[in-house]
Amino acid sequence: MPALAPHPDRLLPADPAVRSIARRLYEAVATLPIVSPHGHVDPRMLRDDTPFADPASLFIKPDHYVTRLLHAAGVPLSSLLGDADPRSVWRLFCEHWHLFRGTPVRYWFESELSEIFGIASRPSADNADILYDQIEALLRSPSHRPQALLSRFGIDFLATTDDPSSDLADHAALRTLPTRVAPTFRPDRYLELGAPSWPSVVKELGGDVGSYAGYLAALEERRRHFVAHGAVSADHGHVDAGTTPLSPTEAGRIYRAALSSDITEAEAVAFRRHMMFEMARMSCDDGLVMTLHPGVYRNHHSESLARFGPDTGHDIPVAVEYTQALRPLLDRFGTHPGFHLVLFTVDPDVYSREIAPLAGFYPAVYAGAPWWFLDNPTEIRRYQRAVTETAGFGKLSGFIDDTRAFCSIPARHDMSRRLDAGHLAELVAAHRLAPDEAEELIIDLVSHQPRRVFKIS
């Protein structure tokens, strides 16, 4: 059976002299605590600390990176999601292991399976049941329960993503853990007035949402509730980055029309862009870091959405523009003391063309790490070169794992650390950076930079 043995120098530069430098840099940060300022781990899972049900529920069903590649090869989502038998799901994954060659998913899985579960052979149709039983037995042991793994992974800070209407009781219950688990304010569905369900959804905010003024007050109150429960950021993921404000009169008119479901698509878009301006204003007031990741067409396949719901692998990137779209917001708030705006993209050209220059001028702007379709070695290397030479290392966000797959967190951060080590080693080898500066930089990128950018005390 072919061995599953991740190479100790994986992802480090191929040139022996540069690799030697990179190895030393990587060793300086390999075991440092993980700071994860943006992700999608369910806080209830950590609160309840119940054993994971089975390998498929842990590794495959919640991870759209995995299910979308299997589906692309002809495996029906009905065989992977919902009530699909966990052992059958795992068998399908093992039978199609070859599909993941050369992908970051393969890298993460190799690290997870070997380092967390002691798997020594590559998954295949022949050993699928053996691996399933080995992992399932470990999942029933105290050493592999959620809180034990959280401690084992060395996660110092973990942000979740939460609905503004949440009472955050799960987070209150987690305050006794050594790891700080913080909520993140995600208001997207309350800002999209054109959605058919919006008139009923907005009532979940509480307060007097029968007027535009009451709606703003309700959002501000929910943000204060999140801050009181340890939140450090507000996250926004709309289709574009528009931030043009409306007059209070016009915003009020559109809001009243939306309550009666009498609103045009153009009005809904104008209001949402106005509210992004308002979200920045609120961040200046309450201190929440504003993260923005537009440019994704959500739920591209309507049948899959109807059968399996959102976040099941059929979100597709679209072109997005930042420079003009963000000008109203940055013209007003880009130099506001203490305001932090972290910009993400799934269009790699946007890093060098727009995000790096914006971060290279506005004190408020930071370049978010490669995210989603870009969180792979090739694009992370491209990002390192595109951003740092224009904006400097001090305007990077630090690594963002953005994952629902709990056990992939350490593997994803390890990948980033290795790639940081390789990039800095190349600068040292080219005599563009002194060795002591490189070591200082890599420690800063891993430990201090995400804390500064996301205001994590």
pLDDT for 352 equals: 94
Domains of the chain (ranges plus CATH)? 16-50+145-453 (3.20.20.140), 51-144 (1.10.2020.10)
Which string of b and e fits 188-199 if b means at least 16 CB within 10 Å? eebbbbbeeebe
> What value does the mean pLDDT take over residues 313-338?
96
Compute the average pLDDT of residues 377-387.
Answer: 95
Alpha carbon 327 to its chain centroid, in Å, reads 25
Give the pLDDT confidence score for residue 138 in this predicted structure: 97
Q: Is the pLDDT of residue 2 over 90?
A: no
Confidence of residue 3 (pLDDT cuts 50, 70, 90): confident
pLDDT digits (tens, 9 = 90+) for 264-281: 999 999 999 999 999 999
| pTM score, whole prediction | 0.96
Q: Is residue 202 scored above 90 in pLDDT?
A: yes
Residue in the block written with tokens 């919006």: 198
pLDDT of residue 407: 96
User: Are the CB atoms for 224 and 234 separated by under 8 Å?
Assistant: no
Q: 13: buried, middle or exposed (CB in 10 Å: 19+, 13-18, 0-12)?
A: buried
pLDDT at position 5 is: 84
| CA separation for the pair 166, 386 (Å, rounded) | 38
- pLDDT (tens digit, 9 = 90+) per residue, 67-108? 999 999 999 999 999 999 999 999 999 999 999 999 999 999
Average pLDDT, the chain: 96
**Does 23 score more than 90 pLDDT?**
yes
Confidence band of 139 (pLDDT split at 50, 70, 90): very high
Side-chain half-sphere exposure of 146, counting CA atoms within 13 A: 21
pLDDT at 93: 98
pLDDT at site 246: 98
The pLDDT of 288-300, averaged and rounded, is 95
Q: Which of 61-65, 144-148, 426-430 has the lowest mean pLDDT?
A: 61-65
| Residue range 314-324: mean pLDDT, rounded | 94
In this predicted structure, the answer to whether residue 186 has a pLDDT above a threshold of 80 is yes
Please give, one letter per residue, the 3-state secondary structure of the chain. Answer: CCECCCCCCCCCCCCHHHHHHHHHHHHHHCCCCEEECCCCCCHHHHHHCCCCCCHHHHHCCCCHHHHHHHHHCCCCHHHCCCCCCHHHHHHHHHHCHHHHCCCHHHHHHHHHHHHHHCCCECCCCCCHHHHHHHHHHHHCCHHHCHHHHHHHCCEEEEECCECCCCCCHHHHHCCCCCCEEECCECCHHHHCCCCCCHHHHHHHHCCCCCCHHHHHHHHHHHHHHHHHCCCCEEEECCCCCCCCCCCHHHHHHHHHHHHCCCCCHHHHHHHHHHHHHHHHHHHHHHCCEEEECCCEECCCCHHHHHHHCCCCCCCEECCCCCCCCCHHHHHHHCCCCCCCEEECCCCHHHHHHHHHHHHCCCCCEEECCCCHHHCCHHHHHHHHHHHHHHHCHHHECCCCCCCCCHHHHHHHHHHHHHHHHHHHHHHHHCCCCCHHHHHHHHHHHHHHHHHHHCCCC
- Distance between CA 240 and CA 245 in Å, rounded? 15
Residue 330 — very low, low, confident or very high, per pLDDT cuts 50/70/90? very high
Question: Does position 1 have pLDDT exceeding 80, yes or no?
Answer: no
